Amino acid sequence: MQLHDPARRGFASDNYSGVHPEVLDALADANGGHQSSYGNDAYTARLAEVVRGHFGEQAETFPVFNGTGANVTGLLSVLPRWGGVVCAKSAHINVDEGGAPEKVAGLKLYPVDTPDGKLTPELLDEQAWGFGDEHRAQPLAVSITQSTELGTLYTPDEIAALTEHAHALGLAVHVDGARLSNAAAALGVGFAAFTTDAGVDLVTLGGTKNGAMGAEAIVVLDPERCHGLTFLRKTHMQLASKMRFVSAQLVALYEGDLWLRSASHANAMAARLRAAVENVDGVEFAYPTQANGVFARLPAGVADVVRQRFFFYDWDAAAREVRWMCSFDTTEADVDAFAALIRQACARAVQG
């Protein structure tokens, strides 16, 4: 029984899309018969090999259910109970995870204002201080997002510089990679170029936003800095009993080039959308469009008109700033119809 209109399209989130057909095929292939539970299966073993191929032989892989669980559990593995995490104010762990880092892991977050969602060594210093002060949670990790919540990208050199500075201060470095594939596709490099090779200690490897049904992984790049994940994953309710179905999705994405094809397409659709409305009177852009998200400011009333057909979110309602996300299954026709509606609504708004 189908309970939704499959013709309904939107630009609200890359989570709104369905499951890539190749991932569905992989799930069907993984079904049937019996496999050991809790990760002692052929698909999880294969995933470990695939991840090492992307990140290096030292990489250890822990499949989990979702990105929040991956971020919280991963960060806890590099921090003592008195540890704090420096992050951008716009970071998902600070804005969109319901306080889980604080409530579940007991971690203090130290958010920093950034102009573009990116931390720098100088911005890190705004919160990386007070070492040895018993009255201040010790800043012992930094978390960055690639691509960022504002759709911007860190270059490999930028991450390397930040990581070098963080390590000099004694901080571990975590990368929230919910859209890691979009970043790699946009930069034209492999994952290792801006993670392993840049000195990153821990990565959340995303799958759901790029065509998986529901699968993420914690990838440990420096086992000397990360401790207890075998136990933490269970205590944080992120250990799947039928893990073969989580792992099979990630194998389907990352064993070949599906991750790259899907992310490249989503990025291209975002670029097409921006180009289609770039010269429309009344449309302004808040940030560069570097991955699969477009952040725009619209004339009063336009967003609600367009949302009658294509749903999307307000990012900053007071500033009339909206976010448009493209997915692996966004089509050129989707983009063109959406852009045409924006142009029509803006023309009416500007004419008064």
Residue 20, pLDDT above cutoff 70: yes
Residue 56, pLDDT above cutoff 90: yes
CATH number of the domain at 258-351, please?
3.90.1150.10
Q: Which candidate, 327, 317, 249, places its Cα nearest to that of 291?
A: 327
What pLDDT does residue 350 have? Answer: 78
Which phi and psi angles does 27 have, rounded to 5°?
Answer: -65, -40
Residue 14: how many CA atoms within 13 Å on its side-chain side?
A: 31
CB-CB contact of 142 with 111 (8 Å): no
Residues 318-338: pLDDT tens digits? Answer: 999 999 999 999 999 999 999
The whole-number average pLDDT for the span 267-279 is: 98
The whole-number average pLDDT for the span 168-189 is: 98
The whole-number average pLDDT for the span 211-215 is: 97
β partners of residue 322: 296, 314
What pLDDT does residue 351 have? Answer: 79
Residues 3-19: pLDDT tens digits? Answer: 999 889 999 999 999 99
**d(C-alpha 25, C-alpha 212), whole Å:** 11
Structure tokens at 176: 């929230």
Structure tokens at 20: 């890539």
CATH number of the domain at 21-254, please?
3.40.640.10
Average pLDDT, the chain: 97
What pLDDT does residue 352 have? Answer: 64
The whole-number average pLDDT for the span 293-298 is: 98
Helix, strand, coil % over all residues of the chain, rounded to 5: 40, 15, 45
What pLDDT does residue 338 have? Answer: 98
Residue 130, pLDDT above cutoff 80: yes
**d(C-alpha 1, C-alpha 8), whole Å:** 17
Is pTM beyond 0.85? Reply is yes
Please state the domain extents for the chain.
Answer: 21-254, 258-351
CB-CB contact of 184 with 263 (8 Å): yes
